[in-house]
């Protein structure tokens, strides 16, 4: 996995958490987590979660969590564990 791919996965994992836990606008969440290109953001999000950020915000349960562990990419857990040790 390239560094850029890893970085995008970590960013999208944080976006996912913000979508579920806040009422902030999606565009604000996207920029807050380091995405400046909305097309790239939407493509990356869809690749990881198989759905759109809007569907996650609405609480749709139809999407598959591809490559994810309980809705979070594996790299998110690796990153978090680095901060706790």
DSSP letter for each residue of the chain: --HHHHHHHHHHHHHHHHHHH----HHHHHHHTT---HHHHHHHHHHHHSS-HHHHHHT---S--TTEETTEEHHHHHHHHHHH-
Q: What topology is assigned to 3-84 in CATH?
A: Arc Repressor Mutant, subunit A (1.10.10)
pLDDT band at 59 (very low <50, low <70, confident <90, very high): confident
Q: Look up residue 52 and give its two tokens.
A: 């759109």
Give the model confidence (pLDDT) of 7-29 as tens digits.
989 999 999 999 999 999 999 99
Q: Return mean pLDDT, the chain.
A: 80
Alpha-carbon span 71 to 65, nearest angstrom: 6
> Residue 1's pLDDT is what?
84
């Amino acid at each position: 996995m390239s560094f850029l791919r890893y970085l995008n996965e970590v960013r999208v994992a944080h976006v996912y958490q913000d979508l579920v836990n806040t009422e902030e606008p999606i565009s604000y969440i996207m920029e807050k987590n380091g995405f400046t290109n909305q097309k790239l953001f939407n493509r990356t999000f869809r690749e990881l979660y198989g759905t759109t950020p809007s569907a996650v915000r609405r609480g749709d349960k139809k999407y598959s969590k591809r490559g994810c562990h309980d809705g979070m990419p594996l790299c998110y857990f690796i990153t978090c564990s680095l901060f706790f040790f």
